[in-house]
Amino acid sequence: MDVLLLGASGRIGQRTATELLDRGHAVTGVSRSGTVDDIDDDEFVAVAGDATDPDDVAKLATGHDAVVSTLGPSGDAAPDILTDMIEAVIEGLRRADVDRLVWTGGAGGLKVGPETLLIETEEFPEEWEPVARVAIEAYDILSEADDLAWTYVAPAALIEPGERTGEYRTADRELVADEEGDSYISMEDFAVALVDELESENAVHTYLGTGY
């Protein structure tokens, strides 16, 4: 596939670019600077673009088979930028006539019980609340875009650089945790989950939790 990867210079983005390339996809990697470190592959092109601008997104997405987002509010950006991004990406994809979107979201809106979301639990770190709330708003906006084949894929509660095992579990709208109740995934395995979903289209119109 020809994939447009928004946020390719980020922590999850770089690993997703590597996973896509290792599976034979061609990748156009977008960041504001237009540079992506540590990726040297004939099938990879780094380009500059602003994911809050629908014109930019439309121009960049045109001619690609699908868009994967690992965008986040990097630098000094306020968390609210995530809703600007999702609105611009939805509009840009419509204008470019590209309908497949795999979006990296947040775990805060996943269920940990029948009536409780992760963000509502006492253990949820206060400093993560603002970005988690905006990530839930972004999901609400995306969930209205019925004309796109979107999947909103959330990491586990904790995601860090680690190893690629290729093994992970998913759940529809639920937090994935192990027997001790720990919810974790490495960034490398999260990238595997994003690309598996891109290729399989198993969870279109789904808020997917991931973890071990």
Ligand X SMILES: NC(=O)c1ccc[n+]([C@@H]2O[C@H](COP(=O)([O-])OP(=O)(O)OC[C@H]3O[C@@H](n4cnc5c(N)ncnc54)[C@H](OP(=O)(O)O)[C@@H]3O)[C@@H](O)[C@H]2O)c1
Q: Which residues bind ligand X (CB under 6 A)?
A: 7-13, 30-33, 49-52, 70-72, 74-75, 104, 106-107, 131, 135, 154-155, 157, 159
Cβ pair 88, 52 in contact under 8 A: yes
Residue 154 or 193: the one with the smaller Cβ distance to ligand X is 154
CA distance 55 to 91: 9
From residue 45, alpha-carbon distances to 28, 131, 200, 203 in Å are 5, 30, 24, 28
Shortest Å, Cβ 158 to ligand X: 6
Shortest Å, Cβ 78 to ligand X: 11
Shortest Å, Cβ 36 to ligand X: 8
Residue 50 or 65: the one with the smaller Cβ distance to ligand X is 50
Residue 51 or 66: the one with the smaller Cβ distance to ligand X is 51
Cβ neighbors of 102 (< 8 A, separation 6 or more) are: 66, 67, 68, 69, 150, 151, 153, 194, 197, 198
Query: What's the distance, CA 103 to chain centroid?
Result: 4
Shortest Å, Cβ 144 to ligand X: 19
CA distance 48 to 118: 35
**What is the CB neighbour count within 10 angstroms for residue 29?**
28
For ligand X, the nearest residue by Cβ is 10
CA distance 11 to 161: 8
Residue 33 or 38: the one with the smaller Cβ distance to ligand X is 33
Shortest Å, Cβ 172 to ligand X: 16
* Phi, psi torsion values for 39, nearest 5 degrees: -120, 120
Residue 25 or 106: the one with the smaller Cβ distance to ligand X is 106
Shortest Å, Cβ 88 to ligand X: 9
Q: Is 187 left (phi over 0), alpha (psi -120 to 50) or beta?
A: alpha
Residue 69 or 100: the one with the smaller Cβ distance to ligand X is 69
